[in-house]
Chain A
Amino acid sequence: MVFLIRLQLREDYSNLIFYLSPLVAVALTLFFGSFIFLILDLSPIESFKIFFISPISNSYGISELFVKATPLAIIALGLSYCFKNNIYNIGAEGQLTMGAIFGGGIGLLFNDSTSIFLLPLMILFGAIGGAFWATIPAILKTKFNTNEILTSLMLTYVALFILDYFVVGPWKDPAGYGLPKSMPFPDAGRLPVLIDGLRVHIGVYFAFIICLITYIIYNKTLFGFKLKVTGLSSKASQYAGFKYKKLIFYTFIISGACAGLAGLFEVSGPIGLLYRDISPNYGFTAIIVAFLGRLNPFGIILSSLLIALTYLGAEDAQLFLKIPSAVGFVFQGLVLFFLLGTDFLNKYKLFIK
């Protein structure tokens, strides 16, 4: 007996379902997530409360939600340019790290500065650092036709080792008891917080501005049109006379710059210095955020908040339920899995014979 699963492309797949499928995916995640809690001998309802509701039941929690959502949204918005263009930049984590090294490096270089220009300069260098790191896979792709998924991913580890080198080597804080971290940035190099006493910072504004600009680019400009056409059909893009190689560069540079920006915001915002673990995998998680938000700028803002919540929930769950915080990653993985699944079934009909 041979089981054959046959797939048939749906001629008329639904746009409505395309936009609803993130909700379906979240619902399925909650449903199957409750089994995880049951296996761990915990009440699902109680656990979900701790996971998803209690973290944002006070102003501190909501501030933290935005602290986590800001880098996710900024990176995911940048990644959406690549993904729309069918370029799979998986190395946002490395570009984030490079942004932190470049921008943070400026902060350390001028560590006695009180100038109001220090922070803008750091932000600029953060973006340049990320863009620089993203140009490498773009060059490799356009000149040697290498797979950008592999090169951008591998460069992530290179970037992490470079950061490692700096914080245990030349940039190590002499007064830091030998810990692998840099000196704190001067006050002029710190990102202003929005509300005194909370950590939410002006990066939130950047996220919203990038979201609006992205929306305009996607819907009103020739550049956005080129991305859309190329993503849908590379042959039509050639017919239209668009230069694919140029688009690869532009999209890599934009997404790298966004990731670099997010990296700089992390180190000059909540962290305040450079050390080894500046990012809890924001660069990788942002891939989920971008797809969960359907590569739509406003959708990405919403999905970044949802995924940020899984970070917070995981911390609370570790604290109150005594389960490992990796459960947060499990939830992120489930969301992505179900999203891909619903998308697939929206596109194809299944026959089993």
Chain B
Amino acid sequence: MQSIVEFKNIFKSYPGVLANDDVSFNIKEQSIHAILGENGAGKSTLVKILYGHVKPDSGKILINSDLAIINSPSTAKNLGINMVFQHFSLFESLTVAENLILGMNESISLTKLKDKSKTICDKYGFNLNLNSPISSLSVGQRQSVEIVRSLLNNPKILIMDEPTSVLTPDEISKLFKIIKNLVKDGLTVIFISHKLEEIINLSDYVTIMRNGKVVSTILTQNEDPETLGYKMLGYKVSKAKQVTDINFSQEIFNIKNLSTQSKDPFTINLNKINLNLKKGQIFGIAGVAGNGQKELMEILLNENDYQFSGDIFFKDLNINNLSTFQRKSLSISYVTEERLGHSAVPEMSLSENIFLSMNHKSEFKKGDFINFEKINSYASDVIKNFNVDTPSYNVKAGKLSGGNLQKFIIGREIMSNPELLILSQPTWGIDAGSEAFIKKKILELSQNGVSIIIISHDLDELLEVCHQISVLYEGSLSNPLNVEDINIAKLGKYMGGLFD
């Protein structure tokens, strides 16, 4: 078999990151080629370049050994490249057939289109009623519509971006059967995933990407989840820190059988999460983004009155029904993933941003009035103690660099003497200096007896600061692993969902 797609030295950078760093590999015709990697490894960027959605900084793509200049998705379609996105673009109120005809490049009558679609559905076993409105379809059926829509364009290459993330196990096995049949009939499928088992089951070849680079392209049949997981995470080694002088006996925070049953297809349902945090302990929640981190954080912070079953205890007090305000008053502090517009308001001054999170503290209020003197002096202390580079506390938060703002936000929370600090992506997207500083502060804090939960998809960071790590995968939380005796291969397996 010859190569249908050849990536040659593709580079693509975004401010602050090199998303694709000299990417070169070939995709064989009539194969299922998986691209595996953690979030931010550069998989999506690469296929978006192939689909003409993103322009590379440099590099070439050969299609059937000919140089292809793909400026837009429509050029890609003309070259026989189609893509099924993770998020669907269907018109809810229109029928399946109407949605299909909207995706056609050429003009075709509705009856002709229906015939053609019917043939495809029958041949590959898509169970679709062409006359039903999209709004009545399940998520799996909607994905079928997207796939049929792509197939109508007679593609040579079909790109599927995390196609199984919204499907039930039953739907997944059906989808895999369909994919295999399509390949038998001549199609080449590029399949993006971070799920190890799926890749082993489905793909012929797999290209592993890490930090924008290709680690290797290999035959899948020689691999098992453990070896694949190891390659995905790489040689990451933990610098296990000294934890001997901390006494982990007193329980601070407990989650018991936390589950959610949301019907929204774009949220992950949490599944019987149990977590047990002791005084002074740093607990890491690892996992690829989109496995329930957002939902878990929302429940911990009690935003949006998220409905859940199970119990959350803080020092033996059930806090299920306590508001954000009440939880903060119990000395639980939060730092959310989004800095601007969530844990800080960019248009407001640093002082005002102190009060944003500290408005539950009576020392900053005089009745209904705000005590700006106290707030300003608190802001000065944060700026001083946490090396925030800013001329004054009157500067608007949006003017600070990411690292500075994060130091300010974390400093704001730490200086309020929390007993439990919950951090989401604390060092994401910030400079190395600020990152090191924040990690040092987190370690200091735990030595002073503060318990910390860190939700992060940066494994290095978790291995460096945490005492225990669990992996969140599709809403389930793994058993905790002690960092001292952690094993990368095992962690890789956990990240791919292989734990009990």
Contacts and interface: CB of A to CB of B under 8 A. Distances in A.
Interface of A: 220-223, 225, 228-229, 232-233, 235-236, 238-243
B369 A236 contact: no
Interface in B296-323: 301, 303-304, 323
A236 B334 CA distance: 12
Given A221-B369, A241-B324, A235 B357 contact: no
A234 to B, nearest CB: 9
Interface stretch (B233-241, B263-271, B343-351): B343-351
B397 to A, nearest CB: 10
Given A220-B369, A233-B342, A236-B341, 9 more contacts: A221-B369, A222-B369, A225-B359, A235-B341, A236-B343, A236-B345, A239-B334, A239-B356, A240-B356
Contact of A225 (B336, B338, B352): B352
Contacts of B210: none
B356 A229 contact: yes
7 closest Cβ pairs, A-B complex? A241-B325, A241-B324, A233-B341, A238-B303, A235-B342, A236-B345, A240-B356
A222 B365 contact: yes
Interface of B: 301, 303-304, 323-325, 328, 334, 336, 338, 341-345, 347-348, 352, 355-357, 359-360, 365, 368-370
A239 B324 contact: yes
A158 to B, nearest CB: 32
Contacts of B328: 241
Contacts of B325: 241-242
- Most A C-beta atoms less than 10 A away, residue of B301, B342, B365: B342
A229 B348 contact: yes
Given A222-B359, A225-B355, A236 B370 contact: no
Given A225-B359, A241-B328, A236 B342 contact: yes
B297 to A, nearest CB: 11
A238 B298 CA distance: 10
- Most B C-beta atoms less than 10 A away, residue of A220, A221, A233, A236: A236
A250 B303 CA distance: 21
B122 to A, nearest CB: 40
B357 A239 contact: yes
Contact of A241 (B342, B359, B368): B359
Contacts of B352: 225, 228
A229 B348 CA distance: 8
A223 B367 CA distance: 11
Nearest to B327: A241
A238 B355 contact: no
- Most A C-beta atoms less than 10 A away, residue of B334, B341, B342, B345: B345
Contacts of B345: 229, 232-233, 236
A222 B359 CA distance: 8
Contacts, number: 61
B346 to A, nearest CB: 8
B303 to A, nearest CB: 5
A221 B368 contact: yes
A239 B343 contact: yes
A28 to B, nearest CB: 26
A242 B326 CA distance: 11
Contacts of B355: 225
Contacts of B369: 220-222
A110 B336 CA distance: 59
B338 A235 contact: yes
Contact of A223 (B344, B347, B368): B368
Contacts of B370: 220-222, 225
A296 B359 CA distance: 24
A236 B335 CA distance: 11
Contacts of A235: 303, 338, 341-342
Contacts of A236: 341-345, 356
B303 A239 contact: yes
A241 B360 contact: yes
Contacts of B303: 235, 238-239
A129 to B, nearest CB: 26
23 contacts: A220-B369, A221-B369, A222-B368, A223-B368, A225-B352, A225-B359, A228-B348, A229-B348, A233-B342, A235-B338, A236-B342, A236-B344, A236-B345, A238-B301, A238-B303, A239-B303, A239-B334, A239-B336, A239-B342, A240-B324, A241-B323, A242-B325, A243-B323
A236 B354 CA distance: 12
Nearest to B343: A239
B131 to A, nearest CB: 32
B295 to A, nearest CB: 15
A229 to B, nearest CB: 6
A220 B343 CA distance: 22
A337 to B, nearest CB: 25
A166 B463 CA distance: 75
A235 B304 CA distance: 10
Contact of A239 (B301, B323, B348, B365): B301
Nearest to B399: A12
Nearest to A235: B342
A62 B368 CA distance: 39
Nearest to B335: A239
B340 to A, nearest CB: 8
B368 A238 contact: no
B347 A238 contact: no
A317 to B, nearest CB: 41
A220 B375 CA distance: 13
